[in-house]
A and B are shown apart, each in its own frame.
Chain A
Amino acid sequence: MDKVIEVRHLYKDYETAAGPFPVLKDVNLVIKKGDYVAIMGPSGSGKSTFMNILGCLDRPTIGEYMLIGHDVGKLNSNALALLRNQTIGFVFQGFNLLARSSLLDNVSLPLVYAGLNKNMRHEKAKQVLAKVGLSQYFQSRPSQISGGQQQRVAIARALVNNPSLILADEPTGNLDSKTSEEIMALFDNLNNEGITIILVTHENDIAAHARRQVRFLDGKITQDSSQQQTVSLETN
């Protein structure tokens, strides 16, 4: 079975003072191993909420989310943490590195929670840092390197525990266009190696790097470049 993600009839409500507010309404999506998906949509379309659910940071209100065979809605917070640690690599818009730690320690951090010893952690961290082209900066602090380099470190951190899936939330949002292209080239390479990548973006040229574009509007998927017919069937 090569489905990494399978979402069926997923609803998400937020509790507000005025009662439950629906953010996602009946979302269905299947992502296969090796897919390269861009999730697009305006602010408030529900794409961030959807990403949080895909990233196991949040649970669906109703519906089913299967992540490599795990029914995420039925897992407790410890199991979710384990799943985030073992199967997902996060890349954020604001890099989100620990300012006080060296790049090596930043990249090793997921392996601390995976329970690896120090030598193994540093060995693997050095490998992935080399892979993103930062072998010479092991002991630097995040503030000592450029934004593009920081995002490379964040990608290295996402890769370090061999995830099935990389979730990138506006990964180029804080970068200039030239650096953005470099980062996207890195993602392209990773996808060519077989890693499944899902990224959220506003920009069409960034989304163009992906092989599949999914558009959100008002809590629903309104367009899926690979499954035009299915979506139009369901929207009818």
Chain B
Amino acid sequence: MFAAMLGEAWHAMGANRLRTFLTMLGMMIGVGAVVLMMAVGEGAQQSIKKSISSMGSNLFIILSGAPSAGGARSATGNSSTLNVNDANAIAELDSISGVAPVTMGGAQAIFAGNNWSTSIIGTIPSYFQVRDWSPAEGYLFTNSDIRSATRVALVGKTVVENLFGDDIDPVGKTIRIKQSPFVIIGVLDGKGQTLDGRDQDDTIIVPLTTAQRKLFGNQVPGSVRQIMAQAVSDKAMPQAEEDINNLLKQRHNIREGSESDFSVRNLTAIANTAAETTKTMSLLLGAIASISLLVGGIGIMNIMLVSVTERTREIGIRMAIGARERDVLLQFLLEAFVISIVGCIVGILIGVGGAALVQHFTGTDTIVTTQSISLAFVVAASVGIFFGFYPARKAARLNPIEALRFQ
């Protein structure tokens, strides 16, 4: 009986192909939009998550210089108000589990006939712990390298690609940075992009002392551009931020009320804000797409109402020869259901295809999850039943005598 009704629904849809197609089109666009938007949103969220986890967890970055000093505003990180002793003092704080002073600058690296301009980071071994960064090959430098300011370097993936190509193993090779030879002792794991789109793998890391003396000399002795500090836990972040501020104000003799010559940034908070924003964006995209699904559902209801009116006489005939109310209800409900399900399946294909096209042409990551597909499917099916129910009930409640008399 159910099979017979399904056949009838199919038949009825075939009787007016253009109309059925247009009704389905609403559903296809709605479902396609939902799947596509969710794929774009999910892709954005995943790439944010990747950036956040590549950054290291519970991180602060302390920059030298203030937002403004004596009325004249300068860029943070330009003056040399932080030094290694500040870093050592921060490391003593209970709320802090790791600290890495960092000095950095741009320089050209040369190997054989190749050269590559990249950013050079001078730091200490705890940097790798704080950033949760390990070598893919070779070794990290140690504290004895810091003490003796050895010319060793760790290189990022992007630097390896541009300086060595695919065939040469960089470990053990010597490159030149600002005329000084450096022996490569390791290649770092790929980390990908930061939140602001910077390539973290386009870097060379050398011991802090080497960078200060051999590469970026001529600064205030011991000064560093920034200090990275890791709090012991997520919960300790506010306490750690306060501790760092108090400690540095005390060390730099900054009185209550006057401006600091440093600034502390909570990287994790910034990252979380970015993640929240992306999540809100994808929710918004999904919500807007859902509206078109709703419009598709209303389209189904509209057409089903027309169909019930057109087929009033048919309904009367069916009732006269023994169709019960629920048989008529089922017949029209099934028709609405089939329209929305077929529309939904095509819509899912459109969404998946659209997501692939978006990825191909814009380079934006899109991820179609089974959840989004099953969600679209369930919503579309319920939309079909919900909007099909009223017309179907209207059909089922027709008076057979009046229905038979209908011209």
A-side residues, CB < 8 A to B, are 52, 55, 57-58, 77-78, 81-82, 84-86, 90, 92, 96-98, 100-101, 109-110, 112-115, 118, 157, 161
Q: 8 Å CB contacts to A: which residues of B72-121?
A: none
Cβ-neighbour of A57 out of B4, B11, B314, B401 (below 8 A):
B401
Across the interface, do B11 and A101 meet the contact criterion of CB distance under 8 Å? yes
Q: CA of A115 to CA of B324 in the docked complex: distance in angstroms?
A: 12
Q: 8 Å CB contacts to A: which residues of B317-347?
A: 317-327
Across the interface, do B324 and A55 meet the contact criterion of CB distance under 8 Å? no
Q: Which residues of B contact A90 (CB under 8 A)?
A: 320-321
Q: Which residues of A contact B314 (CB under 8 A)?
A: 98
Across the interface, do A118 and B3 meet the contact criterion of CB distance under 8 Å? yes
Q: CA of A96 to CA of B317 in the docked complex: distance in angstroms?
A: 7
Chain B interface, DSSP helix/strand/loop, else mixed:
helix
Q: Closest CB of chain B to A174's CB: distance in Å?
A: 14
Q: Closest CB of chain A to B99's CB: distance in Å?
A: 79
Known contacts A98-B314, A98-B317, A112-B4, A81 near B11 by CB under 8 Å? no
Q: Closest CB of chain A to B86's CB: distance in Å?
A: 86
Across the interface, do B404 and A96 meet the contact criterion of CB distance under 8 Å? yes
Q: Closest CB of chain A to B326's CB: distance in Å?
A: 8
Across the interface, do B401 and A58 meet the contact criterion of CB distance under 8 Å? yes
Interface residues on B, range: 20 to 34
Q: CA of A113 to CA of B323 in the docked complex: distance in angstroms?
A: 6
Interface residue B181 (Cβ < 8 Å from any Cβ of A): no
Cβ-neighbour of B1 out of A57, A82, A112 (below 8 A):
A112
Across the interface, do A109 and B318 meet the contact criterion of CB distance under 8 Å? yes
Contact with A along B296-321 (1 / 0, CB 8 A): 00000000000000000110111111
Cβ-neighbour of B324 out of A81, A92, A101 (below 8 A):
A81
Interface residue B400 (Cβ < 8 Å from any Cβ of A): yes
Q: CA of A110 to CA of B317 in the docked complex: distance in angstroms?
A: 10
Across the interface, do B320 and A55 meet the contact criterion of CB distance under 8 Å? yes
Known contacts A112-B1, A112-B4, A77 near B325 by CB under 8 Å? yes
Known contacts A52-B401, A113-B327, A84 near B12 by CB under 8 Å? no
Known contacts A100-B12, A118-B3, A109 near B401 by CB under 8 Å? no
Cβ-neighbour of B319 out of A81, A112, A157, A161 (below 8 A):
A81
Q: Closest CB of chain B to A82's CB: distance in Å?
A: 7
Q: Closest CB of chain A to B176's CB: distance in Å?
A: 84
Q: Which of B319, B321, B401 has the most CB of A within 10 A?
A: B321
Q: Which residues of A contact B318 (CB under 8 A)?
A: 109, 113
Cβ-neighbour of A113 out of B313, B322, B404 (below 8 A):
B322
Kindly list the 3 A-B residue pairs having the minimum CB-CB distance in the complex, ordered from nearest: A85-B322, A113-B322, A81-B324
Across the interface, do A109 and B11 meet the contact criterion of CB distance under 8 Å? no
Q: CA of A98 to CA of B15 in the docked complex: distance in angstroms?
A: 12
Across the interface, do A115 and B1 meet the contact criterion of CB distance under 8 Å? yes
Q: Which residues of A contact B15 (CB under 8 A)?
A: 100
Q: Which residues of B contact A77 (CB under 8 A)?
A: 324-325
9 example contacts (A-B, Cβ-Cβ < 8 A) are as follows: A58-B401, A81-B325, A85-B322, A96-B316, A96-B404, A100-B12, A110-B322, A113-B321, A115-B1
Q: Which residues of B contact A96 (CB under 8 A)?
A: 313, 316-317, 320, 404
Cβ-neighbour of B400 out of A57, A110, A118 (below 8 A):
A57
Q: Closest CB of chain A to B14's CB: distance in Å?
A: 9
Q: Closest CB of chain A to B345's CB: distance in Å?
A: 25
Across the interface, do B404 and A92 meet the contact criterion of CB distance under 8 Å? yes
Q: Which of B4, B322, B324, B401 has the most CB of A within 10 A?
A: B322
Across the interface, do A84 and B320 meet the contact criterion of CB distance under 8 Å? yes
Q: Closest CB of chain B to A13's CB: distance in Å?
A: 15
Across the interface, do B321 and A110 meet the contact criterion of CB distance under 8 Å? yes
Q: Which residues of B contact A110 (CB under 8 A)?
A: 321-322
Q: CA of A75 to CA of B316 in the docked complex: distance in angstroms?
A: 19
Across the interface, do A85 and B321 meet the contact criterion of CB distance under 8 Å? yes
Q: CA of A100 to CA of B8 in the docked complex: distance in angstroms?
A: 10
Q: CA of A101 to CA of B324 in the docked complex: distance in angstroms?
A: 20
Q: Which residues of B contact A86 (CB under 8 A)?
A: 322
Q: Which residues of A contact B319 (CB under 8 A)?
A: 57, 81, 84
Q: CA of A84 to CA of B324 in the docked complex: distance in angstroms?
A: 10
Of all chain A residues, the one with the shortest Cβ separation from B320 is A90
Q: Which residues of B contact A58 (CB under 8 A)?
A: 401
Q: CA of A78 to CA of B326 in the docked complex: distance in angstroms?
A: 9
Q: Which residues of A contact B320 (CB under 8 A)?
A: 55, 57, 84, 90, 96
Q: Closest CB of chain A to B332's CB: distance in Å?
A: 15
Across the interface, do B404 and A81 meet the contact criterion of CB distance under 8 Å? no
Q: CA of A224 to CA of B4 in the docked complex: distance in angstroms?
A: 44
Q: CA of A157 to CA of B15 in the docked complex: distance in angstroms?
A: 22
Across the interface, do A157 and B401 meet the contact criterion of CB distance under 8 Å? no
Q: Closest CB of chain B to A53's CB: distance in Å?
A: 10
Contact with A along B133-172 (1 / 0, CB 8 A): 0000000000000000000000000000000000000000
Q: Closest CB of chain B to A210's CB: distance in Å?
A: 22
Q: Closest CB of chain B to A117's CB: distance in Å?
A: 9
Q: CA of A96 to CA of B319 in the docked complex: distance in angstroms?
A: 12
Q: CA of A157 to CA of B1 in the docked complex: distance in angstroms?
A: 18
Q: Which residues of B contact A115 (CB under 8 A)?
A: 1
Q: CA of A97 to CA of B321 in the docked complex: distance in angstroms?
A: 11
Cβ-neighbour of A81 out of B1, B3, B317, B322 (below 8 A):
B322
Q: CA of A222 to CA of B323 in the docked complex: distance in angstroms?
A: 35
Q: CA of A112 to CA of B4 in the docked complex: distance in angstroms?
A: 7
Identify 20 new A-B residue pairs, CB closer than 8 A, beyond the known A96-B320, A110-B322: A55-B320, A57-B320, A78-B324, A81-B322, A81-B325, A81-B327, A82-B322, A84-B320, A92-B404, A96-B316, A96-B317, A97-B317, A100-B11, A100-B12, A109-B321, A112-B5, A113-B1, A113-B327, A114-B322, A115-B1
Across the interface, do B11 and A113 meet the contact criterion of CB distance under 8 Å? no
Q: Closest CB of chain B to A200's CB: distance in Å?
A: 14
Q: Closest CB of chain A to B248's CB: distance in Å?
A: 84
